[in-house]
Structure 1
Amino acid sequence: MAEWCADHLRNCEGWKSAGLELSTTSDENAKWLDASIRQLVSWTDCASLGGFHETLVNLTKSDPEAIMGRTFLVGLAGLGTEATARDPAFVETMKKLESDAEKYANPREKRHVKAAVLWGRGEHHEAADEWDSIIDDYPTDLIAIKFSHDAHFFNGNCKGKKDAIEKIINKWKPDLPMYSYLHGMYAFGLEECGLYGDAETEADKALNLNRFDCWASHAKAHVLEMNGRHKEGKEFMYRTEDDWKKGWMIATHNYWHTALFHIEFGEYEDALSIFDREISKRFLRSNSLLDMVDASSILWRLELEGVDVGKDRWRKLEHLAKYIDNHSIVFNDVHLGVALYKQGDLETEKNLRASLEKYTNVLSEDNAKISKEIGMPLYDGMLDYARCDYDTAAETMFPIRDKVVQIGGSHAQRDVFVQTLIQSCIMSKDPKNWSLTPQLLIERETMKHDSLLGQRLAEKFRARHPL
């Protein structure tokens, strides 16, 4: 599926002729760097290259001192939400990179180092600005484009995500490697800005150019969900499953989207089957925080719908304790806390919350500030709901509902918090809380059109609080 990733890889001269000169003199390193960014953007493993992770190993082996290769790895670790500014080894890696860049890097590479280190140290908004400034001057710099796109996603900056691709897409020639993937990235930015027609056009354009573009499939799934086209969405995901299911980490997320379409129709067994067959197994293989988020989200949504998913399914999310001091983005922390609580691992959940509260005082990091103002109340509100303290959950989450976008993720992902707040208000015994429900239902319908799940929430409200 991704064998083209190994075709015509750029050596040092190839990068230079593209206006993206490298300081390394190793042609092998230059080619492994090209192979790395191609597989990252396409979310695929190229078998002839040994796959993405083996490519990263070879990237380092080919020239351990290469500035751009090391910078790519630092950016990847930070944006992968696994490494943080409080990881001593990662801190030393960043310090050494900065020092070496001053001695050996060219001007473009120094800007890349600055952006990657800013992100790694928790200055997420400045990092995104720096990557954006790089693509202003180097519009075909795919590493800066990809990292900018991801940074805006984690920052909850819908407009930034759209604008970063919008300003460079017409500066690419269609015969450049990876050109088609720009349309899928652009589609997602447009969708998050509510420009659904344009987003679908771009997603279709990407898929017509390359049907294996699993990010474009993901963008189209978002459009169909937000437009309430659930039957069409479900059919699209199953019809194209063979095209996107090999897209390593994003495949888990695309299965998550497929499960959401089933939940909209109340097809809970189908959603559970996807969790059992795909999502949980993929998490066990990857043990990735991003896969954990999808797994936790699906089980929580099903329980909001009154489905007994069983504690054993929650316990399939293994080895979560190692993440409790990570705090890369609070979006992850909230899903982690939910999973730990539902597993019955109350001691680890308590330690996570204490760690998160301590972290909120690290005001040099953007995520710490967001965690203090939005993340902690959101975390507490979700756990209050889990403990059936619906009044407190509603009172905690309602005041911050318009700010939750700042924790990152997509509108579809953050809908889990919207649903939890609505359910809290419905279940509340306090009239001042449950009377907020009609307003919240209207707000959700404005964002997610023709939602069958929203109709069920409205029916539940009317049944519990008749006029």
Structure 2
Amino acid sequence: MMAEWCGTNLKNCDGWKNVNLELSTTSNENAKWLDACIRQLVSWSDCESIGGFHKSLENLETSDPDAIMARCFIVGLTGLGTEAAGRDVDFVQKMDKLEKDAEKYGNNREKQHAKAAILWGRGYHHEAAIVWDRILDEHPNDLIAVKFSHDAHFFNGSCSGKLNAIEKVIEKWDKTEPCYSYLHGMYAFGLEESAKYEEAEKQADIALNLNRFDCWASHAKAHVLEMNGRHKEGRDFMYNTENDWRQGWMLATHNYWHTALFHIEFSEYEDALSIFDREVANRFNRTNSLLDMVDASSLLWRLELEGVNVGKERWRKIENLGKYIENHSIFFNDVHLGVALYRQENQETENSLRESLENYSNLPNEDNSQITKNIGLPLYDGMIDYAKGNYDEAVEKMYPIRENVVKIGGSHAQRDMFVQTLIHSAILSRKPENWKRTQNLLLERNSLKSNSILGERLATKFRILHPL
């Protein structure tokens, strides 16, 4: 099995100390469970021989409930998992207790980890990323800091941050370390998001040659092939390696989403719908993960932009969304949640989400609240305006903020959903000034995504509706 190595030769307290990552706990069992958890997280997989990731997390927590580094890991994971935020009472209590205990009992590295995890949980996302990066300056082999920094920069929409965090440590690692190969996959994604596609593909290939089951590296390569307009190659790559990357269950839904995007480029809508029915919807209903919710919502929206009638029953397969409406961990999640609720005709819950976002945007002390206020709400309202057929209003709200949408997080490929919606809105607008904007919008998209067949369809639609 792909992840069974995760449970072998786990570091005890001395093992962590020997690599200059000393823990304050004296529990060897806790030290080993910490190692098991970060290995499985980085590989996006379950090690069945030790019960899998979630069981490992339980064991981490119970083996030494007071362990500082273990609690830093759990708090950081909870915040970066975007499942809880600073308005969750239990989460706040965990952060408050960790803050006090780390100051009393933690070593210097643990204090810095606690600081970063708590900053993130309280909504200071950019400060948290800075602290994780500083940990890497002193401890480049700290895999927890590597992973959390990489994820934080992703949610912050910082392409350079994703790249720099890995670039500065990868040459300082012992290549015999169990998770070394995964650095190349993370490096590949940072390079791709920085538009360094040739270097990104090389790094993805290095990672996959070292470990073909590295589903994050497969994901990074899919990004490169999409952005380069190599859609047939991308589609073939995803199917030829499906049995490798699908084993990374935490990322499998997202990789199926990427596969569906290649089908959409070729107008192979039934294939994309089949992926939604067989993989995306079913996986979301098993996990109820916000990451899977985003993929499900995005996929159906993109198909509808292409004129496909996906049916209300498919939207309603994205179930139990009401429990997320007060979360507001990152706005990227909220906008996908909103369009799903609207398409489900769940008007009451969608209205509650919009009202909650308005209230949240008035909080002065969270990075995401200010992003929600200045970028998120106009984007959200523009997307709903498009869904209502109010195309002029959609352009009016989305066009001025389009260059700042990167700040809500996500990847270039994921944010293309908003780009496509704005282009469709401009084409369908009643106002000639919006028609004139369309050509510029098409050029902007083409500069980022070359050789896009979908882009050509958008240009053709424009020419048909607005001939010279």
TM-score where L is the length of structure 2: 0.99
Contact 1:249-1:291 at 8 Å conserved across structures: no
Q: Which amino acid aligns with 1:278?
A: E
Write the distance in 1 (CA, Å) between the matches of 2:130 and 2:212: 32
Write the distance in 2 (CA, Å) between the matches of 1:5 and 1:351: 43
Report the 3-state secondary structure (helix = DSSP H, G, I; strand = E; otherwise coil) of the residue aligned with 2:399. helix
Residue in 2 that maps onto 1:278: 279
Residue in 2 that maps onto 1:257: 258
Residue in 1 that maps onto 2:189: 188
Matches within 5 A, 1:41-440: 41-440=42-441
Residue in 1 that maps onto 2:19: 18
Same amino acid, percent of matched pairs: 71
C-alpha displacement of 1:429: 1.0
Contact 1:165-1:186 at 8 Å conserved across structures: yes
Q: Structure 2, unaligned stretches of length 5 or more?
A: none
RMSD: 0.4
Contact 1:375-1:407 at 8 Å conserved across structures: yes
Write the distance in 1 (CA, Å) between the matches of 2:252 and 2:446: 28
Residue in 2 that maps onto 1:464: 465
Write the distance in 2 (CA, Å) between the matches of 1:292 and 1:132: 29
Write the distance in 2 (CA, Å) between the matches of 1:13 and 1:289: 37
List per-residue Cα deviations over 1:140-176 (Å, max 9, x = no partner): 0000000000000000000010000000000012111
Q: Structure 1, unaligned stretches of length 5 or more?
A: none
Q: Which amino acid aligns with 1:118?
A: L
Report the 3-state secondary structure (helix = DSSP H, G, I; strand = E; otherwise coil) of the residue aligned with 2:450. coil
Report the 3-state secondary structure (helix = DSSP H, G, I; strand = E; otherwise coil) of the residue aligned with 2:403. coil
Q: Which amino acid aligns with 1:220?
A: K
Write the distance in 2 (CA, Å) between the matches of 1:311 and 1:258: 23
List per-residue Cα deviations over 1:163-207 (Å, max 9, x = no partner): 000000000121111000000000000000000000000000000
Q: Which amino acid aligns with 1:291?
A: D
TM-score where L is the length of structure 1: 1.00
Report the 3-state secondary structure (helix = DSSP H, G, I; strand = E; otherwise coil) of the residue aligned with 1:403. helix
List per-residue Cα deviations over 1:38-61 (Å, max 9, x = no partner): 000000000001000000000011
Report the 3-state secondary structure (helix = DSSP H, G, I; strand = E; otherwise coil) of the residue aligned with 1:402. helix
C-alpha displacement of 1:249: 2.0
Residue in 2 that maps onto 1:27: 28
Report the 3-state secondary structure (helix = DSSP H, G, I; strand = E; otherwise coil) of the residue aligned with 2:442. helix
Report the 3-state secondary structure (helix = DSSP H, G, I; strand = E; otherwise coil) of the residue aligned with 1:117. helix
Matches within 5 A, 1:449-460: 449-460=450-461
Write the distance in 2 (CA, Å) between the matches of 1:106 and 1:209: 34
List per-residue Cα deviations over 1:343-400 (Å, max 9, x = no partner): 0101110010000000001110000000000000000000000000001001110000
Write the distance in 2 (CA, Å) between the matches of 1:333 and 1:440: 25
Q: Which amino acid aligns with 1:409?
A: G
Report the 3-state secondary structure (helix = DSSP H, G, I; strand = E; otherwise coil) of the residue aligned with 1:453. helix
Write the distance in 2 (CA, Å) between the matches of 1:254 and 1:179: 22
Moved more, 245-254 or 417-426: 245-254
Residue in 2 that maps onto 1:442: 443
Flag as ranges the 4+ runs of structure 1 deviating above 2 A: none
Write the distance in 1 (CA, Å) between the matches of 2:250 and 2:395: 34
C-alpha displacement of 1:76: 0.3
Q: Which amino acid aligns with 2:111?
A: K
